[in-house]
A and B are shown apart, each in its own frame.
Chain A
Amino acid sequence: EIVLTQSPGTLSLSPGERATLSCRASQSVSSSYLAWYQQKPGQAPRLLIYGASSRATGIPDRFSGSGSGTDFTLTISRLEPEDFAVYYCQQYGSSPPGFTFGGGTKVEIK
Chain B
Amino acid sequence: EVQLVESGGGLVKPGGSLRLSCAASGFTFSSYSMNWVRQAPGKGLEWVSSISSSSSYIYYADSVKGRFTISRDNAKNSLYLQMNSLRAEDTAVYYCARVAKPSWFVFANWFDPWGQGTLVTVSS
Residues on A lying within 8 angstroms of B by beta carbon are 33, 35, 37, 39, 43-47, 50, 56, 88, 90, 92-104
CA distance A97 to B109 in the complex (A): 13
Query: Given A97-B61, A98-B107, A88–B45 Cβ distance below 8 Å?
Result: yes
Interface footprint category on B: 20 to 34
For B109, the chain A residues whose CB sits under 8 A away are: 50, 92
For B46, the chain A residues whose CB sits under 8 A away are: 101
Quick one: which of A37, A47, A50, A92 has the most chain B CB within 10 A?
A92
Query: Given A35-B111, A97-B61, A45–B116 Cβ distance below 8 Å?
Result: no
CB neighbors of A among B89-124 (8 A): 95, 100, 105-117
For B26, the chain A residues whose CB sits under 8 A away are: none
6 nearest A-B residue pairs (beta carbon): A98-B107, A35-B110, A44-B114, A99-B47, A47-B112, A101-B45
- Which of chain B's residues has its CB closest to A86's CB? B44
In the complex, the answer to whether B95 meets A44 with C-beta atoms within 8 Å is yes
In this assembly, does B50 line the interface, its C-beta being within 8 Å of a C-beta of chain A? yes
Please tell me which one of the listed residues A95, A96, A99, A103 contacts residue B44 in the complex, with CB atoms under 8 A apart: A103
Q: A37-B111, A96-B107, A97-B47 are in contact. List 8 more A-B contacts (CB 8 A).
A: A50-B109, A50-B110, A92-B108, A93-B105, A94-B107, A98-B50, A98-B59, A99-B47
In this assembly, does B78 line the interface, its C-beta being within 8 Å of a C-beta of chain A? no
Residues on B lying within 8 angstroms of A by beta carbon are 35, 37, 44-47, 50, 59, 61-62, 95, 100, 105-117
For B113, the chain A residues whose CB sits under 8 A away are: 47
- Which of chain A's residues has its CB closest to B4's CB? A44
In the complex, the answer to whether B110 meets A92 with C-beta atoms within 8 Å is yes
Please tell me which one of the listed residues A37, A47, A93, A96 contacts residue B59 in the complex, with CB atoms under 8 A apart: A96
